[in-house]
Structure 1
Amino acid sequence: MGNKSFLKPSDLPVPAGAEGWESIYPYYLVFQDKLMEQENEKFWFCDSQHWPTVFKPFETIGGEFAVKCLGQYNARHLMIPNANGIEFRVHLGYLYMSPIPVPEEQIAERIPHFQERITHYFQNWDTKLAEWKERVLGTINELESLEFKPLPDMVPMEDILSGKAKDGTEVLMENYDRLIQLAYQNWQYHFEFLNLGYIAYLDFFNYCKEIFPGIPDQSIATMVQGVDMELFRPDDELKTLAHLAVELGLQAQFANPDDPEATLAAIGNAPGGDQWLARWKEAQDPWFNFTVGNGFYGHDKYWIEHLELPLGYIADYIRRLDEGQVISRPKEELIAEKDRIVSEYRDLLEGDQLAMFDAKGQLAATAYPYVENHNFYIEHWTMSVFWRKVRELSRTLQGYGFWENEDDMLYLNRTEVRDVLFDLATGWGVGAPGGPIGTIIWPEEIERRKKIVTALKTARPAPALNTPPQTITEPFTRMLWGITTEQVQSWLGNDEDAEEGVLKGMAASPGLVEGRARVIMEADDLSQIQQGEILVAPVTAPSWGPIFGKIKATVTDIGGMMSHAAIVCREYGLPAVTGTGSASTTITTGQLLRVDGTKGTVTIVDESAAPIVEGPGAHSHHHGVDAEQPAGQPAAEPAEVPANV
């Protein structure tokens, strides 16, 4: 008999050296002894999809803003009938979430409010989305304008003459407060449309399940796919630049992309180099405000500041073009596949059902691209500027002796940074010879916190805590994180048909392939991936696009049908199994895997097993027929639809 529950938070061992870890996070983010009974009655799952590594204190801001703002749209803006927001806590450095249901007796009274509000959005979708973009870009421009310059030795004479009567410390304080508020502002905007995208998709999804009881989740996802998404634009820009480099015969200049200065200088000196550099310059704004991480950590590297990243991807594309490979996404085939499936299901309907299917499908297809596109504007672009400004302030404060390294400010929480600014204003303002008090406090405290964060990193997070509910209904929890009733039981080992060496997850993108595993724990290791390997990771970031042309399939620990890994793999025509719970810690690099994205299974094959014919992998870019089964949409064929339709 399997388990009924996961461990309680208090049952998890604290890694050696991390004792007292609670003290580095704000009180409202950690489990409280006085609330232990209530908190242990809730089911918590770990969101390692967005927060795969331990939080430094300042970085909790991303989790706080993102999850709070997600929740406010469910609970306060849209009045979603059956789902409020998601409570969240940091435990042992990782983020845990607990969806809040709406009490049965309140559901009915929310329905008319919900209808009125979403109708307003869906009827004015294009205008509202255009206004959204304008507001978001306004925030980004204002973030760019913030400065955190060191203070002068004396107030300039012109400030005396103008009667300004301020010393400049107010600029640091106001700009810091503004920095936090602007990030918060764009996170509020972020969810205005995101929840609607999920609602439209979910509504279509549920309707399809109702009228076609046997329909696979993938067929529904395929019916809204194949769109041109802005999230793919950075990667598409790199492909354009690779094509241009080949056209101009500049391949030889890309021998050492890890040295951007030398590479760009060599291109500039080569015939046709000017033309390429002009196009390169053009691509950067805004598309290089793109991180290999996910925008939630101070250490995430952005292309615009690490030009070796885009240059390395371009060099790889050039190599593949010279080998005669096709590097473009199979857009036309995806659209053809989408049209085929839509028309096969439409043929089974008539009258009101057909009209309803068309209307809901159209709405989902309109709203769906936003589910990925917003990601570029918020997680990538907004947070790129945000972290750049955080580092600028940290460097300025480092200059006053508050800490040793330029990004040590990340070990303070954001309220403590305000205290540091007041401390600086006082010490500097009164001309105290020893400088601010914090210079004797913080270096030592930061050292202590670094040891705690390092110790917390030695343990992988528990996938969930406490007893799971009978059923899980909250739409984000199911669609984005892949936390379904079945999946949670599988993590607990309650799978009736569990087999040795087989991991089960979401059938997130169809196809069947075999290949060697490459386990990637963080973005910095992406360069290790070899052509034709299978990517296994706790989670993939949307910005890993350039490697999707190299790999055969993707396997992740967490993620649902609408996770970035699932969406990106469908758009690149690669099989994917998401939400396996433990693939990244069970599988080792080099093992032979069989990934069945149609069934949602990953088999660790014996090293000497005979290979199967390769299915739709990195190069074929089509959902062809595989050795063992069609890699397309098995239940999409009318013949298999139940007779009662």
Structure 2
Amino acid sequence: MARKSFPSPFDLPTPAGAEGWEQIYPYYLVFQDALKAEEDEKFWFCDSQHWPTVFKPFETIGGEFAVKCLGQYNARHLMIPNANGIEFRVHLGYLYMSPIPVPEDQIAARVPLFEERVGYYFQNWERLLEQWKQKVRATIDEMETLQFTKLPDIVPMEDITSGKAQDGSEKLLESYDRLIQLCYQNWQYHFEFLNLGYIAYLDFFNFCKEVFPGIPDQAIATMVQGVDMELFRPDDELKELATLAVELGLQGAFGNTDDVAATLAAVAAAPGGERWIARYEQAQDPWFNFTVGNGFYGHDKYWNEHQEIPLGYIADYIRRLDEGQQILRPKDELVAEKERIVAEYRDLLDGETQAAFDAKRQLAATAYPYVENHNFYIEHWTMGVFWRKVRELSRMLHGEGLWTEPDDLLYLSRNEVRDVLFDLVTGWGVGAPHRAIGTVYWPAEIERRRKIVEALKTARPAPALNTPPASITEPFTRMLWGITTEQVQQWLGAGEDDDFAGLRGMAASPGVVEGVARVVHDADQLAEVQEGEILVATVTAPSWGPIFGKIRATVTDIGGMMSHAAIVCREYGLPAVTGTGSASTTIRTGQRLRVDGNAGTVTILDDADETSAASGQAGGEQAPAAVSGAVQ
């Protein structure tokens, strides 16, 4: 019997050891008892697609800036007729969202405003997009200039003779404030074009659903797929470096890529090595500003700081090239498939309808690449620099005795960090023996918070909270997160009495394969993925590109047709089922699966143990990755 509602946030139990968790986050991010009746009227879903693990207090900055700025473009900039922003709360360490509808009586008044504003962007797309890149790069460049250094014992003599009349502490405070402002600035830029990309695609999507009743969602997505996108450039750079290494006969230098210095030294000493090193250094700026995570957490590892990661991928590509494998994405096949499907559908139309199809498809195809490309500039590049600067500050404060571990700043909220800085500059400025009162307050408080965060990690988040609406119509919720009426009903247990015993999700990328599951909960587990396995994860990151060349298919817990997992799998020609809700906790590594990316189903075929997976025995033949039923 299917349930009618998810639990109320006020009724969920707190994991043992996490008591008092509400106090480690800003008050405005947690559900308030005084608003219980109002909050329980709303439907909330967990965004584990972008925030799959528990927040440390400082890390809420990503969720706050991202969701606030997404909302402002809906509700204040573009005046989208039927969609305002999204309310958000942190509950038991995870981010929950509730889309805000536009009242029916306000929709009509927003339409002309929306058309005028969106029309201007689409009519000036290339100019404004180039301007966007310049704005974003300028923000990153300024962020790079910020420094967090130890305050001097005495003010330099030149500050006396120049009449500066400041002690330098103002620079420390200003630099921190500016770091936060620059991060916020690029998050505002992030959504300037993203929502437009979704709007253009959604317009084409709705048009196709109207003129081609029964058209598969995948067929529409295939007609605008990007093939060449900047988000794939880091992975393409590694493939070129691997190809060059084979061409120069440098394979022997890549035996132990965990030792970065020794690997690069061995390459440089080999004949032709200088040429390879020059190409490697060229690739780093900007393409190594890339994280194996998603950019939202302080622990994310970036290629330019952990070069064993890209070198390891290069070594694997070298191995595959030596085995005669094809490591490039099937671009020609993807383009041919796109052109075939476009032509078949277009031929069904005539006159004005065909012209409208052409115009809407072209607009969607023009805007579509940004849906992924922005990710490199903001989540990867901007946030990579941001987290590096945060670590610099944290380690400087660690040196002042404010906490016991170098990166413990992450256990403070960003506003608490401002207090710590003023505490420090006050104690330093007046010559107090302890410099900062925080040296006796924060170590114990951080340990308390550390234990709370670890306790919160012991429980998986509820996929949703409260009673869902009868029908979920908000377009971004459906398209990006895959939160559909059908999916929510499945989470509530609908369909459990039918004959299908597997998992259902969104048919995100076409094709049918069988193989052995590899369940990945963290980017650090990517090295365990074997050739020919089926990747099962809460969510994938765009930076997992090198893994997509090894696997047969992808299954995720959350994500819609425009999620990163769906887009990347379509561009790699891999079947994908997204938004299953519980694949990563239901499936075990080593189980044999059938993934049907046409129907959106995952079937567990047997309980093969993990040893078969570890040996890379992932059999089964991949079905053609064409869109099933291209013309209905």
Task: Identify the TM-score tier after normalising by the shorter chain.
Answer: over 0.9
Q: How does 1:142-221 map to 2 (within 5 A)?
A: 142-221=142-221
Q: Distance in 1 between matches of 2:532 and 2:497?
A: 30
Give, in angstroms, the shift of residue 474 of structure 1: 2.0
Q: Distance in 1 between matches of 2:402 and 2:291?
A: 28
Q: Distance in 2 between matches of 1:221 and 1:593?
A: 25
Q: Distance in 2 between matches of 1:393 and 1:152?
A: 16
1:265 pairs with 2:255: no
The residue number in structure 2 matching 1:295 is: 295
Q: How does 1:385-404 map to 2 (within 5 A)?
A: 385-404=385-404
Kindly indicate whether the alpha-carbon contact (under 8 Å) linking 2:503 and 2:583 is maintained by their aligned counterparts in 1. yes
Q: How does 1:441-456 map to 2 (within 5 A)?
A: 441-456=441-456
Q: Distance in 1 between matches of 2:463 and 2:143?
A: 36
The residue number in structure 2 matching 1:636 is: 630
Q: Deviations over 1:443-474 (max 9, x none)?
A: 00000000000000000000000000112122
The residue number in structure 1 matching 2:3 is: 3
Q: Distance in 2 between matches of 1:318 and 1:405?
A: 38
1:596 pairs with 2:627: no
Residue type of the alignment partner of 1:636? A
1:15 pairs with 2:20: no
Give, in angstroms, the shift of residue 544 of structure 1: 0.2
Give, in angstroms, the shift of residue 635 of structure 1: 2.3
Give, in angstroms, the shift of residue 226 of structure 1: 4.0
Give, in angstroms, the shift of residue 389 of structure 1: 0.2
The residue number in structure 2 matching 1:245 is: 245
The residue number in structure 1 matching 2:405 is: 405
1:53 pairs with 2:53: yes
The residue number in structure 1 matching 2:319 is: 319
Cα 1:308/1:340, change in 2 over 3 Å: same
Q: How does 1:494-513 map to 2 (within 5 A)?
A: 494-495=494-495, 498-499=498-499, 501-513=501-513
Kindly indicate whether the alpha-carbon contact (under 8 Å) linking 2:290 and 2:304 is maintained by their aligned counterparts in 1. yes
Kindly indicate whether the alpha-carbon contact (under 8 Å) linking 1:259 and 1:308 is maintained by their aligned counterparts in 2. yes
Give, in angstroms, the shift of residue 523 of structure 1: 0.2
**Structure 1 SS opposite 2:85:** strand
Kindly indicate whether the alpha-carbon contact (under 8 Å) linking 2:552 and 2:622 is maintained by their aligned counterparts in 1. no
The residue number in structure 2 matching 1:424 is: 424
The residue number in structure 2 matching 1:621 is: none
Q: Deviations over 1:466-518 (max 9, x none)?
A: 00011212222111100011110111111277445310000000000000000
**Structure 1 SS opposite 2:84:** strand
Q: Distance in 2 between matches of 1:194 and 1:539?
A: 20
1:614 pairs with 2:614: no
Q: Distance in 2 between matches of 1:612 and 1:251?
A: 29
Kindly indicate whether the alpha-carbon contact (under 8 Å) linking 1:226 and 1:331 is maintained by their aligned counterparts in 2. no
The residue number in structure 2 matching 1:517 is: 517
**Structure 2 SS opposite 1:362:** helix
Q: Distance in 1 between matches of 2:496 and 2:442?
A: 54
Cα 1:612/1:148, change in 2 over 3 Å: closer
**Structure 2 SS opposite 1:396:** helix
Residue type of the alignment partner of 1:111? V
Aligned residues between the structures: 625
TM-score norm. by structure 1 comes to: 0.96
Q: Distance in 1 between matches of 2:290 and 2:462?
A: 30
Residue type of the alignment partner of 1:172? L
The residue number in structure 2 matching 1:487 is: 487
Kindly indicate whether the alpha-carbon contact (under 8 Å) linking 1:214 and 1:635 is maintained by their aligned counterparts in 2. no
**Structure 2 SS opposite 1:634:** coil
Q: Distance in 2 between matches of 1:592 and 1:344?
A: 36
**Structure 1 SS opposite 2:186:** helix
The residue number in structure 1 matching 2:615 is: none
Q: Distance in 1 between matches of 2:425 and 2:384?
A: 28
The residue number in structure 2 matching 1:619 is: none
More displaced stretch, 433-442 vs 379-388: 433-442
- Structure 1 regions of 5+ residues with no counterpart? 617-623, 625-630
Give, in angstroms, the shift of residue 612 of structure 1: 8.7
Give, in angstroms, the shift of residue 394 of structure 1: 0.4
Q: Distance in 2 between matches of 1:5 and 1:298?
A: 35
Kindly indicate whether the alpha-carbon contact (under 8 Å) linking 1:503 and 1:602 is maintained by their aligned counterparts in 2. yes
Kindly indicate whether the alpha-carbon contact (under 8 Å) linking 1:231 and 1:542 is maintained by their aligned counterparts in 2. yes
**Structure 1 SS opposite 2:238:** helix
Q: Deviations over 1:543-591 (max 9, x none)?
A: 0000011100000000000000000000000000000000000000000
More displaced stretch, 411-420 vs 218-227: 218-227
Residue type of the alignment partner of 1:634? S
Residue type of the alignment partner of 1:179? L
Q: Distance in 1 between matches of 2:603 and 2:496?
A: 17
Q: Deviations over 1:96-138 (max 9, x none)?
A: 0000000010000000000000000000000000000000000
The two structures, once aligned, show a CA RMSD in angstroms of 1.3
**Structure 2 SS opposite 1:555:** strand
The residue number in structure 2 matching 1:382 is: 382
The residue number in structure 1 matching 2:40 is: 40
**Structure 2 SS opposite 1:480:** helix
Residue type of the alignment partner of 1:510? P
Kindly indicate whether the alpha-carbon contact (under 8 Å) linking 2:511 and 2:627 is maintained by their aligned counterparts in 1. no
Residue type of the alignment partner of 1:317? Y
Q: Deviations over 1:375-434 (max 9, x none)?
A: 000000000000000000001111110001111000000000000011011100011112
Q: Distance in 2 between matches of 1:606 and 1:443?
A: 50
Q: Deviations over 1:136-194 (max 9, x none)?
A: 00000000000001111110011111111111111110000000000000000000000
Q: Deviations over 1:337-367 (max 9, x none)?
A: 0000000000000011101111110000000
1:333 pairs with 2:349: no
1:130 pairs with 2:130: yes
TM-score norm. by structure 2 comes to: 0.98
**Structure 1 SS opposite 2:629:** helix
The residue number in structure 2 matching 1:74 is: 74
Q: Distance in 2 between matches of 1:245 and 1:126?
A: 37
**Structure 1 SS opposite 2:389:** helix
**Structure 2 SS opposite 1:190:** helix
Q: Distance in 2 between matches of 1:25 and 1:11?
A: 19
Kindly indicate whether the alpha-carbon contact (under 8 Å) linking 2:510 and 2:628 is maintained by their aligned counterparts in 1. no
**Structure 2 SS opposite 1:519:** strand
**Structure 2 SS opposite 1:53:** coil
More displaced stretch, 486-495 vs 51-60: 486-495
Kindly indicate whether the alpha-carbon contact (under 8 Å) linking 2:68 and 2:85 is maintained by their aligned counterparts in 1. yes
Q: Deviations over 1:186-233 (max 9, x none)?
A: 000000000000000000000000011110000000000143100000
Cα 1:23/1:574, change in 2 over 3 Å: same
**Structure 1 SS opposite 2:66:** helix
Residue type of the alignment partner of 1:590? G
The residue number in structure 2 matching 1:233 is: 233
Cα 1:334/1:423, change in 2 over 3 Å: same
Residue type of the alignment partner of 1:298? G
Give, in angstroms, the shift of residue 606 of structure 1: 2.6
Give, in angstroms, the shift of residue 281 of structure 1: 0.2
Q: Distance in 1 between matches of 2:123 and 2:23?
A: 48
Q: Distance in 2 between matches of 1:352 and 1:493?
A: 45
Residue type of the alignment partner of 2:167? D
**% identical equivalent positions:** 78
Residue type of the alignment partner of 1:397? L
**Structure 1 SS opposite 2:150:** coil
Q: Distance in 2 between matches of 1:499 and 1:592?
A: 19
Residue type of the alignment partner of 2:258? D
